[in-house]
Structure 1
Amino acid sequence: MLLASGMSLNVGAKASALGGAFRGLADDWSATWWNPAGLAYLKKSEANSILSIIVPRQKYEPKVRLSNGSEIGYRNDQNRFPDDRIFYYPNFSTFYKFQEAGGFTAGMAFFLPYGLGSRWDLFNPLPSYIDPQVDTVPYTRIDHEASFTVVDFHPSIAKEFVKGKLALGLGVAIQKSDFTWRRPNFIPTILLPIATMYQQPQNINRPYDNIIMDSRMEFDGWGVGVNLGFLYQLSPKVKVGGSYRSPVDIKLTGHNRVFIYFPNNSQIIANDSTARPYFSGGGAQASPEVKTTLKLPAELGAGFAYHPSEKFTLLADLAWTGWSRMKILDLNYSLRQQWVSPAGDTFSYGLNPVGTPIDSAIVFNWKDATRFSVGAEYHFKENWIARAGYYHDPTAVPDQSLNPLILDFADKNSLNIGISYTINAYEVGYNAEYINYDNREVNQIQDVNGDGLFDNFPGRYSTAQYSSFFYFTYRF
């Protein structure tokens, strides 16, 4: 599931264990994301590897009906769960201390700052729309799906400019995104090029008032941004840090793999032979090319680290994320597309064999969010460090675009604990994270952009998430 405030994943096991309260400390490789200035204070060169294991547990009770209360095929008023999935995300980095060449630190990290996905069985055509005894094309089981990952290739450089006081850092985010979005569309039968449909719309009985279209979009693309940070020693016991990550525009190109399920009704055909292509069952498919731009947000954050003793550190962070850039994902299609039925028949009605537009946009209309984090680190024994953290992260998703494909259902509270052990040049560690989401209910169905396709999914939402992080560091 696309997650966190919008879609963010925590980067770095240590930063995650501290609840993301890391900008004022920033003392390992993940400073490249949180605050690149911290790389200047790495004690040695280091190489790192991390495995993040994320287990979302999501529940949704649909209440998806038309504004007049009519059913359209959703499995309403019953608890639905996505296919069980466990996500494994690796991270790697190497950073070098160039003491003899100006005293700066530079290197490269590879990690995933955004991600997850889900697959659901939420819909089935109304009774008699598809006749399993006659139709050769059964309706798909997975009818709602989202998958989103961003891989970040992140070179960074940092240097101390005022000895014992001030360091500055710069990173470049070279991001590769893969994005999948799937849901059914509903095409009003009144739009079909059938004479009787225009002349006698009152005779279009359910479930034949809409033609069902399965739409599965797959994209990939690249974008570039920058990451700036500073770290300042305010007093012998207090450090403050801040960072800014620029927005990133990812140019996505892909295809909308569309399949139309035609109903089977011999009576309609008997009344009007022009209805035969649309009421004889079977289907038609096409894969038009589509382009769009995904506008990832800017983030501005600040934090401090307080060292009351050599063994104990307290941390706090505040971060604003500009999720309001995620408004409407406009879909720009290629030219006319030929459709092919399973029987080999061809259609040439443009992007849609019934002559109407297919998905024109994906509506987000998210809002900006501010996350608050606190953490603590304690050297409780030689070579051993314990960490704990908490954060509160308000949802970025409004009622008007809430749907089960995105994990950011509601405001979140996260608890984190971790431990690490160092021996000679090696460090190993583990931390666990639990995220609790507030329950949420949406009652009103909405079509935000007026394209005839509803943009939110009314119903009851609840979820939790469990994550584990294993890491290994070698210093040289």
Structure 2
Amino acid sequence: MKFKSLLLVGGALLTGTAASAGGYQVTLAGQKNNGMGGVGVGLSLDQAAMFYNPGALAMVKDRGVQLGVNGTLARNSFVAEGSNTQRELRNSVVTPFNFYAGFGPAEGKFRAGIAVYTPFGSKLQYAEGWEGRTSLTDIDLKSIYVQPTFSYAVTDQLSLGVGLTVLAYGAVNLQRDIALPDSYGHIELDGKAKNRIGFNAGLFFKPNPKLSVGISYRSKIDATVEDGDVKFSNIPASFATRFEATKFSATLPLPATTSVGIGIMPTEKLTIGFDVNFVEWSKYRALQFDFDRQINGSTVSTSKRDYQDALTFRLGGQYQVTSGLTVRAGAAYDESPVKDGFVTPETPDANRVSLTGGASYSFGKFGVDLSTQFVKIQKRTQTQADLINNATTDRIAGTYKTNIVIPGIGLNYNF
């Protein structure tokens, strides 16, 4: 018996089923942006510019603090090849959040701030006894990034910015069943990620009141778990010597992203944004687990990923209805980095289409932001022949379908 299927859960390390982007990337960093299809690179809406384009922060008129939270309500189903039985995930809700605080002199050329957000994280719980139980049963993943940011307006039209992206906290719990001759055992991996540092830099240019452009680059970070715990249960004593590992380590690349955005302001009340994101997923070629002791005669396991680079296209707009009320709408199309024959239970990914809406109401220095997103991940089928041709038989053949609804709310205060 080979245990390569253990590696399937590793693709979800600090990730899981992404709510609003391909692969395991999540972009729910700003409540206003969420309502506009996720655009923001070519705009200077508010303090969330720290995430989308640090260069735009210096052009944000107000200093302020904002806090937002989203609920990701996913419905995933799976039908195994040759079966008519549809398996659905047990219900779970994940609540990624964001916090921003921006400071600087009212008439000055610079802004500084701090951002805290959760770009990776999910919770998946497959149905009891589903066909892929030896690949994955449960994932519970958490991550928190902290980003101190500085932005400077070189001229009235041009500004630059940079932030340190710190993986301040990451935790992962992954579980699957183990097929034994006359029963099933269970394995659980539980670990904390090491702190890692990258950067997020951007340039923002607004040649006139009706046009703005931006470009940003978020660097790659390797998320590494060392000395994670390995626990076995329901293993008969006669098989205990085959499952001796107590610790594991693994590294997952969190890929670099280059983004370009355009903002158009036809009138003082209407703003339109268009973004293109290029994610360097091709750096993710394989995932390796190292164990301190053997699992069925081996201390190292490797699983192919062979991701490909992918683009995301985003379009959105907002309209100021009254002095206090602003409404928003948008859409996005996201290419999947996962090739045919490489789909895994923890990331049943495919090309996806998102529709978004939102509104804000301000009263004095306070404001409330609401957003909602509907994400349809296209049906994805892989056959046993696909798995054999790609030497990826450590995963399961069948069809995945996923729809996600993401409501969100934010509170902000400007000073």
Where 2:298 maps in the other structure, the secondary structure is coil
Q: Is the 8 A contact 2:65 2:101 kept in 1?
A: yes
Cα pair distance change 1:423/1:186, threshold 3 Å:
same
Aligned CA RMSD, in angstroms, stands at 2.7
Are 2:288 and 1:330 equivalent residues in the alignment? Answer: yes
CA distance in 1, matches of 2:173, 2:259: 30
Cα pair distance change 1:464/1:239, threshold 3 Å:
same
Q: Residue 32 of structure 1: CA displacement?
A: 0.9
Are 2:134 and 1:173 equivalent residues in the alignment? Answer: no
Q: Residue 447 of structure 1: CA displacement?
A: 6.8
The one of 65, 69, 72 equivalent to 1:51 is 69
Are 2:9 and 1:17 equivalent residues in the alignment? Answer: no
Q: Who is 2:48 aligned against? A: 30
Equivalent residues in 2 for 1:431-446 (5 A)?
431-444=371-384, 446=387
The one of 112, 120, 123 equivalent to 1:114 is 120
- Deviations 1:415-446 (CA, angstroms, capped at 9, x unpaired): 00000011111111101100011112111263
Cα pair distance change 1:30/1:435, threshold 3 Å:
same
Where 2:225 maps in the other structure, the secondary structure is strand
Q: Who is 2:6 aligned against? A: none
Cα pair distance change 1:168/1:32, threshold 3 Å:
same
Are 2:302 and 1:361 equivalent residues in the alignment? Answer: yes
Amino acid corresponding to residue 337 of structure 2 in structure 1: A
Aligned length: 392
Q: Is the 8 A contact 1:224 1:249 kept in 2?
A: no
Q: Residue 359 of structure 1: CA displacement?
A: 6.5
Q: Who is 1:421 aligned against? A: 361
Are 2:149 and 1:156 equivalent residues in the alignment? Answer: yes
CA distance in 2, matches of 1:183, 1:449: 23
The one of 225, 230, 233 equivalent to 1:256 is 230
Q: Who is 2:267 aligned against? A: 309
Are 2:325 and 1:375 equivalent residues in the alignment? Answer: no
Where 2:248 maps in the other structure, the secondary structure is strand
Amino acid corresponding to residue 217 of structure 1 in structure 2: L
Cα pair distance change 1:55/1:298, threshold 3 Å:
same
Equivalent residues in 2 for 1:119-138 (5 A)?
119-121=125-127, 123=129
Q: Residue 49 of structure 1: CA displacement?
A: 0.8
Q: Is the 8 A contact 1:448 1:454 kept in 2?
A: no
Where 1:150 maps in the other structure, the secondary structure is strand
Cα pair distance change 1:362/1:141, threshold 3 Å:
closer
Provide structure 2 residue ranges, at least 5 long, that are not aligned to the other structure: 1-15
CA distance in 2, matches of 1:379, 1:230: 26
Q: Residue 86 of structure 1: CA displacement?
A: 1.2
- Deviations 1:369-399 (CA, angstroms, capped at 9, x unpaired): 1000001110111211111110000112223
Q: Who is 1:406 aligned against? A: 347
Q: Is the 8 A contact 1:420 1:428 kept in 2?
A: yes
Equivalent residues in 2 for 1:227-238 (5 A)?
227-238=200-211
Cα pair distance change 1:105/1:29, threshold 3 Å:
same
CA distance in 2, matches of 1:298, 1:185: 35
CA distance in 2, matches of 1:291, 1:329: 11
Q: Who is 1:199 aligned against? A: none
Amino acid corresponding to residue 328 of structure 2 in structure 1: R
Point out the structure with the larger strand share: 2
The answer to which of 216-225 and 384-393 deviates more is 216-225
CA distance in 1, matches of 2:99, 2:163: 16
Cα pair distance change 1:456/1:399, threshold 3 Å:
farther
Q: Is the 8 A contact 1:447 1:455 kept in 2?
A: no
Cα pair distance change 1:55/1:285, threshold 3 Å:
same
Cα pair distance change 1:30/1:257, threshold 3 Å:
same
Q: Who is 1:73 aligned against? A: none
Amino acid corresponding to residue 469 of structure 1 in structure 2: G
The one of 70, 80, 85 equivalent to 2:87 is 80
- Deviations 1:217-260 (CA, angstroms, capped at 9, x unpaired): 22221221100101101333110001000100122121222346
Q: Residue 41 of structure 1: CA displacement?
A: 1.6
State the percentage of identical aligned residues: 23
Q: Who is 1:131 aligned against? A: none
- Deviations 1:108-154 (CA, angstroms, capped at 9, x unpaired): 111101221201136479xxxxxxxxxxxxxx999612233321111
Q: Is the 8 A contact 2:141 2:173 kept in 1?
A: yes
- Deviations 1:440-474 (CA, angstroms, capped at 9, x unpaired): 21112637997xx8333211111100011100100
CA distance in 2, matches of 1:458, 1:54: 26
CA distance in 1, matches of 2:341, 2:135: 24
CA distance in 2, matches of 1:465, 1:174: 28
Amino acid corresponding to residue 306 of structure 2 in structure 1: N
Q: Residue 63 of structure 1: CA displacement?
A: 2.8
Are 2:25 and 1:8 equivalent residues in the alignment? Answer: yes
Q: Who is 1:203 aligned against? A: none
Where 1:244 maps in the other structure, the secondary structure is strand
Q: Who is 2:140 aligned against? A: 147
Equivalent residues in 2 for 1:58-73 (5 A)?
58-63=76-81
CA distance in 2, matches of 1:43, 1:292: 44
Q: Is the 8 A contact 1:256 1:290 kept in 2?
A: yes
CA distance in 2, matches of 1:216, 1:400: 26
Normalised to the residue count of structure 2, the TM-score between the two structures is 0.87
Q: Is the 8 A contact 1:121 1:141 kept in 2?
A: no
Provide structure 1 residue ranges, at least 5 long, that are not aligned to the other structure: 65-75, 126-139, 188-206, 263-275, 337-350
Amino acid corresponding to residue 399 of structure 1 in structure 2: D
Are 2:203 and 1:218 equivalent residues in the alignment? Answer: no
